[in-house]
Amino acid sequence: MNAPSILKPTAPSATSAPTSPATTPSASVTSASASEREELVKDIYDQAYDAWQPNRVDIFRQYGLTVVLGKRDGYEFEDLETGRRIINMHINGGVFNLGHCNPEVRRALVDGSERYDAGNHYFPSEVKMRFVERLLALSPDSMRYVNVNTGGGESIDSAIKFARHATGRRRVVTVHGCFHGATGFAMQAGPQDQAAFFNSTGSPDDFSQVDYDDLNQLEDVLRRNDTAAVLIESLPATAGFPLPHDSYFKDAVELAHRYGALYIADEVQTGLMRSGTMWCSVGYGAEPDMIVTGKGLSGGYYPMSAVIMNDRSAQWLKDDGFAQTTSFSSSELGCYVATTVLDITSRESTVQNVHMLTDLFKTRLADIQSRHRFLTGVRQRGVIMGLELAHPQGSTALMAALYRNGVWAMRANFDQHVLQFKAGLLMDAPTANRVLDALDAALPQAAGLVGVED
Ligand SMILES: Cc1ncc(COP(=O)(O)O)c(C=O)c1O
């Protein structure tokens, strides 16, 4: 039985007018009645409960968050149940950096599939080499090699192995509040309760965690002289994108090197121009030994991730080129699609749009903050944003109120007074303004939900 929804307003009839700044009915709403849509979504959720994710379905139903994505394009998707168009300010952590069903990426996928399949993972090819060359050209000069995988977790696991081989050591130091994926080493490097849930925590000799932006704690661990890698998610998303002091990454790289360790920058969420530069930590002046990228590299279509390596990190490639192979590594179709993603991401008009959005959000968020006590602070680097709220669980309330106003954004699970607010690189100014109008309307509603004055 569904609990009353805090997120979904009553489904509009085919003729009803939009009820909020960001909500417009989609074209396909007119083809199905409200009851037909509700029935369809209920069936999908019933099946999902039976055969896919019983506990997750229970929780979504409890919060009235029975979302099924309908038609989608640009930065909007249709909520199948209500027919409303929702602006996506979560973008799956950056997967939809270039928007949903980006036409240029889709064309590359379709055209590419006429010529390529995954190819053979043992042999090089022209399309693979073009992708590798393009990625290196967009990375610091010290980067020499690229290892291409599918998911971000797989690339984090790989980077950890590469550091262990290069240094002959095992320890990996990460920071509290980071998330690096749900695969083996990536999960062991992240939140310990998650690894413990699967009875899979790493040995205390293999993994240590220190506070973000704290170089003294980092050095204390490094002094043991047994660290293979310092692995830092440049701006930890699940902690709400806290911003470090300006020299943090540069100093952390230097410390790692002083004690014989390598520095791995997890740029799965913060890379690909989202911070206003190609790689966030590099934009702060650091030169990591490895950069891990993923999410948006797929263009939302073809799963791709990569480890970009300098010479020292890539030692294994020279010692034994067959030590790690996976069936879909360097998939030719994936490389073709991802090369197009890199072309779009790095072109001048995209960079200019990111600057435009950065300024627009900065200016309007400052104005909105001056009028709403519930919004106590804004963290921003490029189009990566965290909204600080005047209640420890304020982000759940704002998430709910924003959804009612036609915007989907995700709370920061490890610090729930912060809402993650992530714009895509190609979002236009009218859409950004609709997001901000929706925020303006949602803040007092959210404050009311948690009993705080706005
Ligand atoms: C910072 C960061 N690193 C790594 C990952 C893992 O990527 P994937 O989910 O593609 O395995 C994620 C996923 O959310 C992430 O946010």
Q: Rounded to two decimals, what is the model's pTM?
A: 0.94
- CA dist 270 and 94 (Å) reads 8
What φ, ψ does residue 146 adopt, rounded to 5°?
-130, 130
Spell out the per-residue pLDDT of the chain, length 454, in tens: 334 455 665 444 333 333 445 544 444 444 789 999 999 999 999 999 999 999 999 999 988 889 999 999 999 999 999 999 999 999 999 999 999 999 999 999 999 999 999 999 999 999 999 999 999 999 999 999 999 999 999 999 999 999 999 999 999 999 999 999 999 999 999 999 999 999 999 999 999 999 999 999 999 999 999 999 999 999 999 999 999 999 999 999 999 999 999 999 999 999 999 999 999 999 999 999 999 999 999 999 999 999 999 999 999 999 999 999 999 999 999 999 999 999 999 999 999 999 999 999 999 999 999 999 999 999 999 999 999 999 999 999 999 999 999 999 999 999 999 999 999 999 999 999 999 999 999 999 999 999 999 9
Gap from CA of 13 to ligand 1 centroid (Å): 39
Give the atom of ligand 1 at the shortest distance from the alpha carbon of 238.
Answer: 16
Mutate to test the pocket of ligand 1, among 187, 188, 268 (most ligand atoms within 8 A of CB): 268
Gap from CA of 271 to ligand 1 centroid (Å): 12
Residue nearest to atom 16 of ligand 1 (CA): 269
The class (CATH top level) of 103-346 is: alpha beta
Give the atom of ligand 1 at the shortest distance from the alpha carbon of 236.
Answer: 1
Give the atom of ligand 1 at the shortest distance from the alpha carbon of 181.
Answer: 6
Q: Interior CA angle at 68 toward 98 and 235, to 5°?
A: 45
- CA dist 263 and 43 (Å) reads 48
Gap from CA of 182 to ligand 1 centroid (Å): 8
- CA dist 349 and 168 (Å) reads 45
What pLDDT, on a 0 to 100 scale, did the predictor assign at position 65? Answer: 85
Gap from CA of 186 to ligand 1 centroid (Å): 9
What pLDDT, on a 0 to 100 scale, did the predictor assign at position 12? Answer: 43
Residues in the chain: 454
Closest to 91 measured CA to CA, from 102, 99, 79:
99
- CA dist 427 and 189 (Å) reads 33
What pLDDT, on a 0 to 100 scale, did the predictor assign at position 238? Answer: 97
Gap from CA of 145 to ligand 1 centroid (Å): 21
What is the 3-state composition of the chain as percent helix, strand, coil, each rounded to the nearest 5? 45, 15, 40
Closest to 256 measured CA to CA, from 232, 277, 291:
232
Gap from CA of 283 to ligand 1 centroid (Å): 20
Tell me where in the chain the CATH 3.40.640.10 domain(s) lie. 103-346
- CA dist 202 and 381 (Å) reads 33
Mutate to test the pocket of ligand 1, among 179, 270, 291, 414 (most ligand atoms within 8 A of CB): 179
Cβ partners under 8 Å of residue 139, min gap 6: 278, 279, 282, 291, 308
- CA dist 85 and 70 (Å) reads 9
Give the atom of ligand 1 at the shortest distance from the alpha carbon of 150.
Answer: 10
- Name residues contacting ligand 1 (CB within 6 A): 93, 151-153, 156, 179-181, 233, 237, 266, 268-269, 294
Residue nearest to atom 6 of ligand 1 (CA): 181
3-state secondary structure of 48: helix
